[in-house]
Amino acid sequence: MSDPPQLTLDFDHRPSLAGDDFLVAPNNDEAVSWLDRWPHWPGPVLAIHGPVGCGKTHLASVFAALSGARVISAADLQLGADPLDILGAAPAFVIEDAEAAAAGGEEDFLHLFNVIAETGRHLLLTSKTPPSRWPLGLPDLRSRLNSVLAVEIGAPGDALIVAVLVKLFSDRQLRVDDEVIRYLSTRMDRSFEAARSLVDRIDRHALAAQRNITVPLVRQVLESEDKS
């Protein structure tokens, strides 16, 4: 019986000043391309949207580290502070879970939006859905958001999940056979968060049992999750 073919990984690895390398793949390459064009965006705001676990937060962290962008929280917007005090001297800004931030204070969100545009700076929004679909009541804010360039990130595909698993094990200096990677990739939730959590649990289980990471060990970890 012949050995199974070796896994081949063909992704662009982008170094992240915020931590791990970011893997550029078909589900996120359009978003990465637009972030690479900063500050030459067609408008002051770029929105990246997609399901939980698709990598929005990681991309936002990469952008913030490379551009010097400041991360603005929903709490910052709801304090009633002057937007210029919130913005300071940063050239760009990031608001994550922006739909919730906007819903929590539409007037404040609109004011911040306008000040960023008027001062020639840029804003990156992340959310699960595109801004044009946010259920907002303020007409001026809806109008602004309808004009925003919105780019979707899809759920990670099979090849990207494999690449992420390989990288996560490698980051921990763990040697894992391709057979283990294949087994995991067909039985786990399709998200980066799920991959990180699963690799962490497998690592801890292997250490506690003083065993190598093999398919039987991985099967035990997955079965213990199903029973919990």
* 58-94 per-residue burial string, b: 16 or more CB within 10 A, e: under 16: bbbbbbbebbebbebebebbeeeeebeebbeebebbb
Q: What residues make up the domain containing 126?
A: 22-152
Tell whether 54 and 96 lie within a shared domain. Answer: yes
Domain-embedded: residue 127: yes
Tell me the backbone φ, ψ of residue 206, rounded to 5 degrees. -65, -40
CATH at residue 124: 3.40.50.300
Domain-embedded: residue 117: yes
Tell whether 124 and 181 lie within a shared domain. Answer: no
Domain-embedded: residue 76: yes
Last residue of a domain, one of 91, 117, 152: 152
Query: Going residue by residue through the chain (228 aa), what tens digit of pLDDT does each one get?
Result: 334 444 444 445 454 444 456 677 788 889 999 999 999 999 999 999 998 878 898 889 889 988 999 998 877 776 566 777 778 888 999 999 999 989 888 998 998 899 999 999 999 999 999 999 999 999 999 999 999 999 999 878 888 888 889 888 988 889 899 999 999 999 888 778 888 889 999 999 999 999 999 999 999 999 887 665
Count of domains forming the chain? 2
Stated pTM of the model = 0.75
Tell whether 113 and 172 lie within a shared domain. Answer: no
Q: Quote the CA–CA distance of 101 and 113 in Å, as a whole number.
A: 12
Last residue of a domain, one of 108, 128, 152: 152
CATH at residue 200: 1.10.8.60
Residues forming beta bridges with residue 14, ordered by sequence position: 22
Domain-embedded: residue 2: no
Tell whether 109 and 132 lie within a shared domain. Answer: yes
Tell whether 90 and 58 lie within a shared domain. Answer: yes
Tell whether 126 and 163 lie within a shared domain. Answer: no
Tell whether 168 and 114 lie within a shared domain. Answer: no
Residue 174: name the closest of 198, 199, 156 by CA: 199
